[in-house]
Amino acid sequence: MAILDAAFDLMTTNGYDGVTVEDIAARADVASATFFLHFPTKASLIIAFNQKISAKVADQLDGKQSSAQEKLDRIRALVQDEWRQHAELLRKLVIEDAEQHRGELIAASGSLAELVRDIVREGQESGEFSGDFSADLIARSIIAAWRATAQEWARSGDTERARKEHRQVLELILKGALPR
């Protein structure tokens, strides 16, 4: 999407605070009103960013013969890589969303949650995961924990801790906290 690409190009060069909606619209060769048709705020660009990541991840997983857990771990790694490439910008988007527009970050995870849910369901059908819990519940739990980790990372900037916690989220949710 031209608007998203224009926004990330400008913000990578000028920083989040150094770019206005008008700047983004001019770079994308659209009217400011067109920007607002797609994005109510600058922070809502995170929704399109996550949809772009979800499509990229789905393409990379398509046709691969892997276990559901391997696919989920691949999603985690790909998402972290994308976020690493735009770290400072995404930290600002997450912070602004958390402070001003609490619902947008939740909505931003929708396409990723669907992908995670489908993989969990696949794992349940193959017997890799228990069917004791709904695939939707497991997916929402993973996404919510990843979102909380992203918000903490946005505040602290501690990338290593965030990477570790993203891996631990999968282990905690998929294996549970009880000793086996």
Q: Whole-prediction pTM value? A: 0.63
Q: Are residues 82 and 170 in the same domain?
A: yes
The domain spanning residue 31 has which CATH number?
1.10.10.60
Q: 13 lies in which domain range?
A: 1-39
Residue 121 has a pLDDT of: 93
Residue 163: φ, ψ to 5°: -60, -45
Q: 54 burial class (0-12, 13-18, 19+ CB within 10 angstroms)?
A: buried
Residue 180 covered by a domain? no
Residue ranges, the chain, pLDDT below 70: 97-109, 177-180
